[in-house]
Structure 1
Amino acid sequence: MARPQNPQRKPQLLAAIVEYLKDKSLAEVSFRSLAEGLGISSYMLVYHFGQREQLIAEIDERIQAGRRWALPAETSALGPAAFRRSLGRFWQASLQDGNRQLQRLGFEAAVRAPDDDGGSAAAGAYLSWAEAAAGWLRAQGMPGPEAAARGRMLAAAVHGLLYDYVLTGDRQQSTAAFEALLDTFLAGLEVPRQ
């Protein structure tokens, strides 16, 4: 008779895997290499994740969950200054120690995701950014098509600046570019720069 599965074990394993991979590439990931690095059996990884592709997908989901921009539930109630502060909190959290490596790993997971699986966690997170920004702009009175385009622009630019930080490690210049982006995005909405 098989032992019942511990529901906490898989999330614990996933957290340990992501931590272990911070200074490695997903191209190096195999059940055997992970098992050796974590000091566990490869059978345990197969038991919890099935196949390598499933493991990579769950790594991607875990990383993207930590990178999501958390806006209050009622974004339409935010004024431009509160919207900017919310983005600023996300940016500052992204610059914290360890997050640069997670962002690198997240970008790698996003480009490694199969094209035929209906979209990766990274694609979903990216599109949720675009929609959140567009929804906020619509609540500010911007017409739908323009709000959608500007929301997508914000998502692309923020993710590009995160990539800039991953590549260069230059917090000061990446943050200066982020502030300039916010100035441009919020232009005409009367947002004081703080």
Structure 2
Amino acid sequence: MSAAKEKLLAAAVAWCAEHGVGEVSLRQLATALGTSHRMLIYHFESKEGLLVEVVREVERRQRAAFAELDRAGASPATAPREFWRRLTDPELAPLIRLFFELYGQALQGRPGTTEFLDGIVTSWTEPMADWLRANGFPDAAAKAQARLGVAVTRGLLLDLLATGDRAGVDAAMEAFILSTEDTQRRLASIG
């Protein structure tokens, strides 16, 4: 990615995090980012292409943050809880909303968004399964638990956006984490 495109993408991520997207046009986005709509088209092909790249960048940053927790020595008990705390930071809400908006558009086949589905699950399940294997899960169980973890996390994020019930989604995530820890203990006692 060129330096100019990286700079525009970083600015777009920051702008979308602060303002959301709503019905903003490509021209309005360009003005807000201090560039022209033609430059955005040159680098991202369309408004949808830009927004897909924004969400992919946010997802990349989130995966890097999770990896950093692991590298920093966060325990299997604390890493998921800390990561959930980071994901549910109210400042990320506009980006999480954008994620689900684009997900829905891609599922409907909206032009410029369908590539969003490429790796939408495996980009998370593969690193999560690696982490689970490193923390005592056998391969098949790690893959299944990683997929379940992605589904639960996304479902609870959607629940939080729809209901605003922070206590309820936090309690549900804690129950999921405890069940994962219980599964890990049972698998360790078998192995």
Q: Could you tell me the TM-score, scaled by structure 1's length?
A: 0.71
Shift of 1:145: 2.8
2:127 counterpart (116, 132, 135):
132
Report how far residue 36 of structure 1 moved: 4.0
- Any idea what the Cα deviations from partners look like across 1:70-95, whole Å, max 9, x if unmatched? 236989xx8xx812311122111122
Q: Is the 8 A contact 1:100 1:166 kept in 2?
A: yes
What is the rounded CA distance, in whole Å, between the counterparts of 1:154 and 1:134 in structure 2?
10
Q: Contact 1:131 / 1:148 at 8 angstroms: preserved in 2? A: yes
Q: 1:52 aligns with which of 33, 47, 56?
A: 47
Identity %: 34
Equivalent residue, structure 2, for 1:99: 92
Amino acid at match of 2:82: R
Unpaired segments ≥5 residues, structure 1: 1-6
SS at match of 2:184: coil
Q: Which residue of 1 aligns with 2:75?
A: 82
Distance 1:157 1:103 in 2: 15
Counterparts of residues 1-194 of structure 1 (less than 5 Å): 7-22=2-17, 23-25=19-21, 28-38=23-33, 40-68=35-63, 70-71=66-67, 82-113=75-106, 119-120=115-116, 124=119, 126-139=121-134, 142-190=137-185
Quote the offset at 1:119 in angstroms. Answer: 4.8
> 2:8·2:33 contact (CA, 8 Å) conserved in 1?
no
Q: Classify 1:171/1:66 alpha carbon distance in 2 versus 1 (closer, same or farther; 3 Å).
A: farther
Measure the CA separation in 2 of the matches of 1:74 and 1:13.
30
Larger radius of gyration: 1
Of 154-163 and 178-187, deviating more is: 154-163
2:185 and 2:140 mapped to 1: Cα distance?
21
Tell me if structure 2 keeps the 8 A contact 1:30–1:52.
yes
CA distance in 1, matches of 2:31, 2:68: 42
Cα RMSD between the aligned structures?
3.4
Q: Distance in 1 between matches of 2:20 and 2:134?
A: 42
Normalized per residue, the structure richer in helix is 2
The residue aligned with 1:3 is: none
Residue correspondences, number: 179
- 1:8 offset after TM fit, Å? 3.9
Contact 2:133 2:142 in 1 (8 A): yes
Gaps of 5+ in 2: 187-191
Deviation at 1:143, TM superposition (A): 4.1
Q: Distance in 2 between matches of 1:73 and 1:92?
A: 12
